[in-house]
Amino acid sequence: MKPLLLLSVLALAGCDPHTPSPRYADAPMYLLDIAPERLVGKWYEVASFPAPFQGGCSHTTATYAAIEGGLSVVNRCRRGGQVVQIAGTAARVGAGQFKVRLEGVPFAGDYWVIGQSRDGRTLLVGTPTRLAGWMLHRDRHVTQDERRWAAGVFAANGYDEAALQRTPQ
């Protein structure tokens, strides 16, 4: 019985997609002051440090529209052959900082913009806890150079760049 219990615990531990390393806990985060209207439109998640609620997701997108006080948010993904989505709002609370409230979630999340490519087509979003982070792009695919740039920005903001996972699109 004990070996079965141990195997179960190890299997569950392997399900955790990303746990920040304590060695990054005190690393500074460098925020990009970005106007909410520059985020409007559809973004494809091309890589991430997945949040626990993203388990089993592929073809993930985030669509933002301007509203009074910030942005409306619609996040979609495919899970188990079905499209699932959650909607909410994002309010700008500081330079590069947004509070995101999603339907059915009892608390607001902190989403911080930590990078944007020169052409504005790639956006990097992190959380102050570094439990999650996303590389968003205006197209479904990015080049290896774009991915390397993103990994470097995440690393400079205290993420373990080796844990950045490609999101199937």
Kindly report the pTM of this predicted structure: 0.85
Confidence at 19, pLDDT banded by 50, 70, 90 = low
The C-alpha atoms of residue 135 and residue 151 are separated, in whole angstroms, by: 9
pLDDT in tens, 130-162: 999 999 999 999 999 999 999 999 999 999 999
Q: Which two tokens stand for residue 46?
A: 């091309």
Q: Which domains does the chain have, with CATH numbers?
A: 25-166 (2.40.128.20)
- Select the more confidently predicted residue: 84 or 26: 84
- Which uninterrupted H or E stretch holds 169? none
CA distance 118 to 153: 13
DSSP string, 9-70: HHHHHTT------GGGTT---------GGGG-EEEEEEEEE--GGGTT-EEEEEEEEEETTE
Query: What is the amino acid identity at position 5?
Result: L
What pLDDT is stored for residue 47 in this prediction?
Answer: 97
70-92 tens-digit pLDDT: 999 999 999 999 999 999 999 99
